[in-house]
Structure 1
Amino acid sequence: METNNQLAESIITKIEQDGPISFRDYMDSCLYDHQFGYYFTAGNKIGVNGDFYTSCYLTPSFGAMVGKQLEEMWRLLGCKELTVVEYGAGTGMLCKDILAYLKNIPLLYKHLRYCIVEISPTMRTIAQGQLNDKVAWYNAIDAIKGEIDCVISNELLDNFPVHSVVKEHELLEVYVDYQGAFTKVLRPAPPKLKNYFKELLIDLPKGYQTEVNLVALQWINEISLKLKKGFLLTIDYGEQSRELYSNYRRSGSVRCYNKHRVNDDVFANIGEQDITAHVNFSALIHWGKKRGLDTCGITTQAKFLLALGFKEHLRRLYENQTRDVIQMAREEAYICRSLLMEMGEKYKVLIQSKNMDHVFLNGLTLQQKTNNSTP
């Protein structure tokens, strides 16, 4: 356990003054403390020299497929001026590849406004170095003037701070205490956490531990208030309730990433490692519907990419290069294996719409062939 840093000392001081803090507040401090939090300190977080990869780091074809889906949404919206909002753009890699694809559609690109909502000054500084004047930066979606049409996020919600709960004789919430070392203590869960499971019709078995992402519900609400007509595209690591609350998940889904190694010690490397939790897509669908967002469909990242022609685009990308053929073939195979097999099944793509009637989207084609029911 690492406590020899300023963030750890700050958390310890708070606990000594006010008593144990919820795991949600502990995770929030670890990631988003404005002075010492993981996403607010300098250093590489993503990529070879960072702690983890995101899909867009493996190939620009990933961003091109997201761009291709945005192009279809633009056409369904009537080929009008398009405002895209990307939440948590990180280093700007996805945005860069989306813009590169959309630039090939002159009418769309001419009237495109690309807005990034990014609260991390470190990430914003890195991204601004590689993005063009099509991009405007904001701290919150409410600050964006005028109508918005499409909201996208890639691997964002799994980093929202979560409440940790355990079901015993009643639902208990996990708190963090410090008695010479960080430790977890249990307290009765407040009504807001009990109501979360009640709304989703989930009855956890005794001894089951899991997480509740209330920040994701606030996120859905702020988007639904701003989005009058258009789409919300969410790509993230997670599952629907039937998988998330199955027996093999009874120990919870919180994981930490440090130098491309996975661990479950949330008290190690405080402020120096990423902390994530699986996204409950059933919750996004349920609360989205309550806020006026219809579900177009949910699919895996692999099926989403394949439906939009990922393999064909990737192949054309390599055909235009003049490097060693065998090496390029190996790279192409590695990218396909990573994005379509390893990450392809773990990551889900949820598309929701508002005031768009019943639209059909190409990115959901493969999923709709195998499952036509509304999730």
Structure 2
Amino acid sequence: MADNVRVNTESVSEPSSLTSALLARLREAIRASGGWLPFDRFMAMALYEPGLGYYANQNPKFGQMPAGVAGQGSDFVTAPELSPLFGHTLARQVAQALAATGTDEVWEFGAGTGALALQVLDALMAMGRAPRRYTIVDLSGSLRERQRATLASHAAVVHWADALPEVLEGVVLGNEVLDAMPVQLLQRVGGQDHGVWNERGVVEAPDGRLIWADRSTALRPPLDIEGPHDYLTEIHPQAEAFIKTLADRLRRGAAFFIDYGFPEGEYYHPQRHMGTLICHRAHQSDDDPLADVGEKDITAHVNFTGIALAAQGAGMSVLGYTSQGRFLINCGLLDVAKDAGARENAMLGKLVNEHEMGELFKVIGLAPAGSETGWDPIGFTAGDRTHRL
């Protein structure tokens, strides 16, 4: 173990439910890294280690009910699983963007069960705007199989890819994708004036448990955080690098990302001293990513200012930024839902109400610089908050 590592021996315990194979690989990675594994690498393995990580294993993940309820076994629900109105409404923005940019392909990252793709494709076909191709980029083999079954009716246009091509043209979608990208954890011990910043990582205790350990670092959050207190937070180099790669490849088209998060000033507010990292399992949340590794989701909220700056630094323009509720209403959700029944109307409320998903979730639109002129995305026609980023 490195000499400058400070171990927190009180942080976590390791229950017997953890898979021995994933634990073995994590311990190997820790040893290969000199005894200390930065959290972003831990998070990447916990979520994406082939065959073992949360998104790479066969366990069910998406659904409205927890394991053992109504025959479902799921950990969380996303907007497309709540209501098809979500994808049917988003499709209106997709149709406008396809027409405005003169493209005919949709790319979706992290398509989950395939529910969003099905909703968007069904709606686009009903509008007479079916794309030539709908490409899904998803690293999970088990989720791909579920997507194939869900999208069997659109088999002629749906394709899968492991990575972006060198040149990309079309409309890009990502619903709850950025929050699942590994983050680095930074811990300030002490206050603004004399505090010491550490990067948080994972080590192996003598008894084999995985526990927290901090080491000194030159890394800092993008804002100087006021206050005399200790402060734990995240930075997002992988999500920002993803946006830069997308900017490099997307020559014509637009991109829309929907996720929970904040602009930078809210993200690094002095009162948010415990960060935003959270885990989901069986529709319950906890703040202990070292427990039940591989058996639960690990996410962090998105710093949308960082996403916007990464895009602009790589030559993209911000089309708009607003809440999910405002975006869906702008895109005509109320019109789409005019014939919906009582249950669908209840789900509609979850999508747009401020105390549900409507305010916590945000939408950001991006486009290659120069291609954003000549059209105004309907999703941002009212309530655009780009000036708050």
Q: Deviations over 1:186-214 (max 9, x none)?
A: 11225xx33xx3xx454465521111111
Q: C-alpha distance in 2, partners of 1:100/1:366?
A: 26
Q: C-alpha distance in 1, partners of 2:223/2:54?
A: 35
Match of 1:166 in 2: 187
The 8 Å contact of residues 89 and 116 in structure 1, kept in 2 or not, is answered as yes
Unaligned runs of 5+ in 2: 1-13, 66-72, 190-194
Matches within 5 A, 1:1-375: 1-3=14-16, 4-6=18-20, 7-16=22-31, 18-47=34-63, 48=65, 49-77=73-101, 80-106=102-128, 108-109=129-130, 111-131=131-151, 132=154, 133-142=156-165, 147-168=168-189, 169-179=195-205, 180=207, 181-190=209-218, 193-194=219-220, 197=221, 200-203=222-225, 205=227, 207-316=230-339, 318=340, 328-329=341-342, 331-341=343-353, 342-354=356-368, 355-358=370-373, 359-368=375-384, 373=387, 375=389
Amino acid aligned to 1:64: H
Amino acid aligned to 2:87: G
Q: Deviations over 1:57-112 (max 9, x none)?
A: 111110011110011112222xx441211111111110000000000233x32x52
TM-aligned CA distance change 1:102 to 1:333, over 3 Å = closer
3-state SS in 1 of match to 2:91: helix
Pick which of 1-10 and 299-308 moved more. Answer: 1-10
Q: C-alpha distance in 2, partners of 1:97/1:81?
A: 20
Unaligned runs of 5+ in 1: 319-327
The 8 Å contact of residues 199 and 214 in structure 2, kept in 1 or not, is answered as yes
Pick which of 210-219 and 349-358 moved more. Answer: 349-358
TM-score, normalised on structure 1? 0.88
3-state SS in 2 of match to 1:40: coil
Q: C-alpha distance in 2, partners of 1:280/1:213?
A: 8
The 8 Å contact of residues 153 and 233 in structure 1, kept in 2 or not, is answered as yes
Q: C-alpha distance in 1, partners of 2:82/2:177?
A: 18
Pick which of 271-280 and 304-313 moved more. Answer: 304-313
Q: 1:253 deviation in Å?
A: 0.6
3-state SS in 1 of match to 2:169: coil
TM-score, normalised on structure 2? 0.85
> What is the root-mean-square deviation of aligned Cα atoms in Å?
1.9
Q: C-alpha distance in 2, partners of 1:56/1:280?
A: 23
Q: Deviations over 1:266-304 (max 9, x none)?
A: 122110000000110000001110111111111000001
The 8 Å contact of residues 225 and 269 in structure 2, kept in 1 or not, is answered as no
Q: C-alpha distance in 2, partners of 1:212/1:44?
A: 29
TM-aligned CA distance change 1:120 to 1:372, over 3 Å = closer
The 8 Å contact of residues 262 and 301 in structure 2, kept in 1 or not, is answered as yes
3-state SS in 2 of match to 1:253: coil
Q: 1:235 deviation in Å?
A: 0.3
Q: C-alpha distance in 2, partners of 1:366/1:10?
A: 49
Q: C-alpha distance in 1, partners of 2:170/2:336?
A: 26
- Identity score, percent: 29
Aligned pair count reads: 350
